Amino acid sequence: MTDAPRARAGTPARAGGVEAEAGAPRGDPPAGAGGVLVIGYGNSLRGDDGIGWHVAARLADDVRMRDAVVLRRHQLTPELALDVSAASLVVLVDASEVGEAGSIAVRRLDPPSGAGPAWTHHLEPASLLALARNLYGAAPTAFVVSVGAATLEVGDGLSPALERALPGVVDAVARIVAGHARA
C-alpha cells in the first residue's frame, strides 16, 4: 500500500489515488476535468526558479487540495491547453525576477483578446489560456501566483528567502482554491 499520490513531472496527483497523464491522447478525461488544476512550473535545477515544483509537492499532500489536480512542469506548453480548458479554475505558480526575494504576488489572469498565441514550444500564462479558448472553446478562471526570486543560479535548492516564503505561497494557492469552492 502506498501513501497519498504525490505530484511528479508528467503525472498529476489527485486525492483518492486517481492519476491521469496531462493531455493524454488515449481518450482519458483531461487532468482537472471540471475541477481545479494547479500547475507549479519552472526549472527545478535553477535555484529559486524551482519554487513552482516545491509548492506543487507540498500541495499534492495538502488536505485542502483533495479535489485538485496538481502538476509540476518545466514550462507551460501547448499540450496543457486541453487540461486547462477542462478545468473550472487554474492556478499557475512560478518564480519572478520582479519584486523582492520571497515576495508573493497574486493576479487574476485573462486570456488576451485577438487571434491568440503564436505556436511555440512554451507559452506565457495568458497565451496558454488563449490557446485553450481557441482550440477547445473554454478558458477557465485563472490566477498566477508569482514569487520574487533571490537567485536563478544552477542549484536544486531554494534560497533562504524562498524557503521562508514557501508556506505562505502554499497558503495563497489554498485561499484561491477555497474562494473558488465557495463561489
Q: Determine how β-strand 68-73 pairs with β-strand 36-41.
A: parallel
Looking at residue 103, its amino acid is S
Distance CA 117, CA 90 (A): 18
* C-beta atoms surrounding 155 within 10 Å: 15
Query: Which pLDDT does position 45 carry in this prediction?
Result: 94
pLDDT recorded at residue 117: 53
**Separation of first and last alpha carbons in the chain:** 36
Which residue type is seen at 55?
V
pTM attached to this predicted model:
0.82
pLDDT at position 121: 56
Q: For residues 154 and 121, which has the higher predicted lDDT (pLDDT)?
A: 154
Cα 132 to its chain centre, rounded Å, is 15
Is the confidence at residue 91, as pLDDT, over 90? yes
Task: Read off the pLDDT of each residue in 152-159 and give the average, rounded to a whole number.
Answer: 92
**Residue 53: what pLDDT?**
97
pLDDT at residue 28 is higher than 70:
no
Per-residue pLDDT tens over the stretch 113-123 = 765 555 565 68
